[in-house]
Chains A and B, each alone.
Chain A
Amino acid sequence: MDEFDVLYQEVILDHNKNPRNFGTLDPFTHKAVGHNPLCGDYVEIFLFIDGDTIKDVKFKGVGCAISKASASIMTTVLKGKKIEEVKDLFERYHTVLTSKPDEPVDVSNLGKLAVFAGVREFPVRVKCATLPWHTLMEALEKKDSVLKME
């Protein structure tokens, strides 16, 4: 397996083809839109947060396999997690992805997200994998956002 096979491994291709939690959430409490004008990637994240726990999450958008799989896998790990836990997880994920390719990294506490560790071999693609997460963080920051019924 070379770095390209790692980047486009089966799990990622599968989530790209059959994204989980794809669609809109109604009702939702938090929402944010992420856009990478450089490649046209576009992602919308919908959250239903009760207290400090993410009860439900959905996403929609268009993008490359890496960004779509990243959004899809992200939604599968969020449900039931506390906001602080999610922020912690993003921190660890981000550190791994932005580390230099030859630096040793610890992916043991990344869970399912470990499949994206290979993205760091492709610096120009790191943004693809982090866009859904940055968008999620943006949605979480909107603390004052009221429940939107759409």
Chain B
Amino acid sequence: MEKDLKALGIKVEKKKEFDVYLVRQDFPILHRTVRDKPLIYFDNAATTQKPKIVIDALVNYYTNLNSNIHRGVHYLSQAATTEYECARRIIKTFINAKHEEEIIYTRGATEAINLVAFSYGEAFLSEDDEVLISHMEHHSNIVPWQIICEKTGAKLKVIPIDDKGELILDEFDKLLSERTKIVSIVHISNSLGTINPIEYIIEKAHKVGAIVLVDGSQSIQHVPIDVQRLDCDFFVFSGHKIYGPTGIGVLYGKKDLLEKMPPYQGGGDMILSVSFEKTIYNVIPHKFEAGTPNIEGAIGLASAIRYVQNIGLDVIYDYEMELLNYATEKIKQIPEVKIIGNSKNKASLISFVVENVHPHDIGTLLDRDGIAVRTGHHCTEPVMRRFGIPATSRASFAFYNTFEEIDVFINSLKKIIVKFK
């Protein structure tokens, strides 16, 4: 068929082939064993594994390029600076930011949120103002706002969630007012998997003049992000969640906002000139990047992004949805298991509780079969309280996971349930 069409001179758009077994070859750690069993890594929402190309980028940096960036006149310093700034360009293109200087390197999503809370919050929040977050936030998108509200007298308001683990948008609409100055919202919940309607939230928030920060820690690796189309004011993510190194993350911010924000930390690189009388701050992004940064982290992250771009986030998303649907069907067949988080829009993770078996016992016994899942409150204690549970077990899938691995996981889970009968 395809040949015939080609013979007729008709262009055939071929859907990119995805071969999970081929992709797995790129990840050295997936070939090790744990407790004499092949590793089944279902803890991807906590951190993802690294492809060889990322590991090589780090090794190459320290083998061939290591040098401190900016202001160095020697060859290595210039080469390292080029790589470091080139990485910024790759990130800019990946999330479709308008300007390169809108990409600020941080240690991770947590530091990025803290940067906005402390810099923007302290400068622009006052009594009578409100900061709006949701009930499904990670602690890292709760605590910085609590601290800043305490300092400024602003009030922290919380959008409630329903039994499926979705935001109650009617309540969001009611909470939103001209007092709302900042809406800080998670894109995809790390403990429920819910994909939030951030387009709607951003549009509504802008109507009352609030700015919006989107926590993309769990979305950057699963869905294509276009910050200009979203029109979010800030977008944050961690490199290690998207197959890159730990210790590097990104704060995207709209240029005009970043420019009017005061520095977050003082030090080298963030200044133009220093005297005891007066210090002149550097321009963005450097104003927010005090000290020698995580150079190899930025380079490693760029290499991870190129790797993901090469496979295609749309291809990744489709495959991960197949994994999610398959695992959800299988897990629903076990009567003792209850899934926490049943939104119709979910990313590829399943949080669950098992009748009469505590998540920690499940985690320990799955580990016996070489299966890594996360157990606990996932740094979302308010979510746990909302559902009246102390903790869940969470299996989170990446594009290198397979249907066979899900089968092994389901069988292991069934064995555990029998053991506790």
Contact = CB atoms under 8 A, between A and B. Distances in A.
A128 B381 CA distance: 19
A65 interface: yes
B368 interface: yes
A91 to B, nearest CB: 26
A42 B390 contact: yes
Interface residues of A, number: 22
B365 A37 contact: no
Contact of A39 (B357, B365, B391, B419): B391
B419 A63 contact: no
Most buried by B among A7, A8, A68: A8
Contacts of A38: 376
Given A8-B419, A65-B420, A40 B364 contact: no
A13 B375 CA distance: 20
Contacts of B377: 37, 39-40
Main DSSP-derived SS at the A contact region: mixed
A65 B358 contact: yes
Contacts of A122: 364
Interface residues of B, number: 19
A36 to B, nearest CB: 9
A39 B360 contact: yes
Most buried by A among B364, B365, B419: B364
A109 B281 CA distance: 68
A62 B359 CA distance: 12
Interface in B341-396: 356-361, 364-365, 368, 375-377, 381, 384, 389-391
A20 interface: no
Contacts of A37: 377, 381
Nearest to A42: B390
Given A40-B376, A41-B390, A17 B420 contact: yes
Given A4-B368, A8-B419, A40 B361 contact: no
B390 A39 contact: yes
A54 interface: no
A4 B365 contact: yes
A63 B357 CA distance: 9
Nearest to A122: B364
Contacts of A96: none
A8 B356 contact: no
A16 B376 contact: no
Contact of B390 (A2, A8, A62, A125): A62
A30 to B, nearest CB: 25
Contacts of A62: 358, 390
A8 B365 contact: yes
B219 to A, nearest CB: 26
Nearest to B362: A64
Interface string A40-55: 1110000000000000
26 contacts: A2-B368, A4-B364, A7-B364, A8-B361, A13-B420, A17-B420, A38-B376, A39-B360, A39-B376, A40-B377, A40-B384, A40-B391, A41-B390, A42-B390, A63-B358, A63-B390, A64-B360, A65-B357, A65-B358, A65-B361, A66-B360, A66-B361, A68-B358, A122-B364, A125-B360, A125-B364
Q: Which 5 A-B pairs have the closest CB atoms?
A: A40-B390, A64-B358, A64-B360, A40-B391, A4-B368
